[in-house]
Amino acid sequence: MNVLTGYIVREILKGSLVALVLLLTLFNLFTFSDELKDLGKGHYDLQDIFTYLALTSPTVIYELMPASALLGSLFILGAMGNNREIIAMRAAGLSVFGIIRAVMLAGALLVGLALGIGEFVAPSAERAARLLKVTAQNEQVVMNSKYGLWLREGKQFINVRQIEDDGSLADINIYELDEKQHLRHSTHADKARYLGDQQWQLEQIKQSEISTEQVFADQQNESTWRSSIAPDLVKIVVVNPNNLSLVDLKMYIDFLKDNHQKSHVYEMAFWGRIVNPLVTFIMLLIAAPFVIGVKRGVSAGGRMMIGVVIGMGFNIIDKIAGHVGLIYNLNPPLIAVLPSLTVLALALLAMRRVQ
């Protein structure tokens, strides 16, 4: 790595990290405002809110990395262009391709940082944040694992694996112990709907009564289950893609497929994680030829506005493609990569024009 390449890499990294801190602060301010609405619910206090913000920050950092790379590179390269540094670099023999290569090298370091946070820090921190919030607001939660929500009510232990789009529960297991803490009843229901007045309607039920001598099995189409479990507890997405690493997502997708359950949402999340590093490189690839090809004198505010428009435009297109893919059950890898490939083609066209 020569001196000029190292200089560009350091400046891009500094600019991107500053942009990341600013965006993270902005997002946390909005989240803080939303969390204040729940202040005082149960024993959810200010300390819990700040802890919740700290625990959700790794996920936000992972999601903001592409936008931060775009804004940071636009600002730094724009400043270099205005100060005639890029002209001096090219006069010293550094080609446009060499500048872009240095920008991509900085992008590789940013992607490595994002992957480390997204795979090893964010999932466990996100689960801890959800557990903190729910346990502070309601004493019934026992454990929020990556494969579902565990709750206790008296002698019953309830495991909820999924929440449907209409708010009903799916794949519920209810285990009941006797006075000696021995398992006596096991119930599995495919679905549960809240009827009000602490009553749930269980559907497609399989029950087992367990004794030291034998096990009695029974099946019912539906039954009423009375429980004091608050419905707002189960509004939490029990198995959320944000709570899972790539490996865990793949395992859970296989689990859903093996049990003939819908996995499209998790497949979209899985391929979105795969594509996310590519998005960071594309954002940087957009910034480099754009700045190099723009006349000097464009203000920092103007460049930031351009970055915001590009970033928001890409995010909107990506969200629209994701929703269309879910509605029409389209191929997840194709839907995840299509917006990125479209923007990549535009970036390569712009780079060719500058070259």
Whether residues 96 and 228 fall in one domain: no
Give 97's pLDDT tier (boundaries 50, 70, 90). confident
Last residue of one domain, picked from the residues 238, 264, 299 = 238
The answer to whether 172 touches 225, Cβ cutoff 8 Å, is: no
Domain count, the chain: 2
Nearest alpha carbon to residue 292 among 80, 11, 94: 80
Q: What are phi and psi of 107, to 5 degrees?
A: -60, -35
Query: For residue 199, what are its two tokens?
Result: 């009553």
Q: Is 284 a domain residue?
A: yes
Whether residues 103 and 155 fall in one domain: no
What is the predicted pLDDT for the residue at 354?
60
Q: What are phi and psi of 174, to 5 degrees?
A: -125, 120
Q: Residues 247-273: what's their mean pLDDT?
A: 83
Its domain, for residue 155, covers: 148-238
Q: Residues 268-290: what's their mean pLDDT?
A: 83
Which residue's structure tokens are 């700045």? 291
Whether residues 118 and 10 fall in one domain: yes
Q: pTM score, two decimals?
A: 0.73
pLDDT over 90, % of the chain = 25
Q: Is 136 a domain residue?
A: no
pLDDT higher at 346 or 209 = 209
Q: Is 326 a domain residue?
A: yes
Going by C-beta distance under 8 Å and a sequence separation of 6 or more, which residues neighbour residue 129? 51, 52, 55, 56
Per residue in 284-309, pLDDT tens? 887 776 666 555 555 656 666 776 77
Query: For residue 202, what are its two tokens?
Result: 């269980």
User: Bridge partners of 162?
Assistant: 170
Going by C-beta distance under 8 Å and a sequence separation of 6 or more, which residues neighbour residue 316? none
pLDDT at residue 72 greater than cutoff 60? yes
Cα→Cα distances 275→16, 111, 278, 319, 320, Å: 20, 11, 5, 14, 16
Per residue in 302-355, pLDDT tens? 666 776 777 777 878 888 888 888 788 888 898 888 888 888 887 777 667 665
What is the predicted pLDDT for the residue at 195?
84
